[in-house]
Amino acid sequence: MPVNPEVEGRTYPKIPTYVVSRVKVAEFAAAVGAKDPVHTDVEHARSLGYSDVVAPPTFAVIVAQQAEAAAITDPEAGIDFSRLVHGEEGFTHHRPLVAGDEITAATTVDRVRSAGGHSMVTLKTAITTTEGDPVCDVNCVVVIRGEA
């Protein structure tokens, strides 16, 4: 069943405040094999001018995927999660995420289109501080495979 194109343009509510922690940054860095001490050593991070340890470039996906869940589970969109694969991902960082940041995120369905029996859904997620300052824009394309 194709994804309902009428959800195009829909913006979902912001997620609850997410607080970036040193422990989670270190855990994520270890999981992707990012060995740079800026992720784990506060003094080193401060020597480079950051207020605290810096999250790896793809860390924002944790927050983005929490926000995207509202779109993916919207019953009106009709997305079959079991047929969903990740097509593309992109981050535009206005500044790096650092431990102590209090952020939130909201996802908008940018585009729904059909191609070769599949549905491609482009989700744009704006990650901001709780004060509303831009932190990271996330672009995600998911492909919902059609029935063979």
Where on the chain is the footprint of another protein (CB under 8 A)? 24, 27-28, 30-36, 38-39, 48-50, 54, 56-58, 61-62, 65-66, 82, 85-93, 96, 139
CB of 6 to another protein, least distance (A): 27
Return the exposure string of 23-47: e unless at least 16 CB atoms fall within 10 Å of the residue's CB, then b: eebbebbeeeebeeebbbebeebee
CB of 145 to another protein, least distance (A): 10
Closest to another protein by CB, 3 vs 140, is: 140
CB of 19 to another protein, least distance (A): 14
Closest to another protein by CB, 10 vs 96, is: 96
Do strands 118-129 and 134-144 pair parallel, antiparallel, or not at all (unpaired)?
antiparallel
Phi, psi (5° rounding) for residue 137?
-105, 130
Write the single-letter amino acid at 125. Answer: T
Closest to another protein by CB, 73 vs 92, is: 92
Closest to another protein by CB, 96 vs 146, is: 96
CB of 33 to another protein, least distance (A): 5
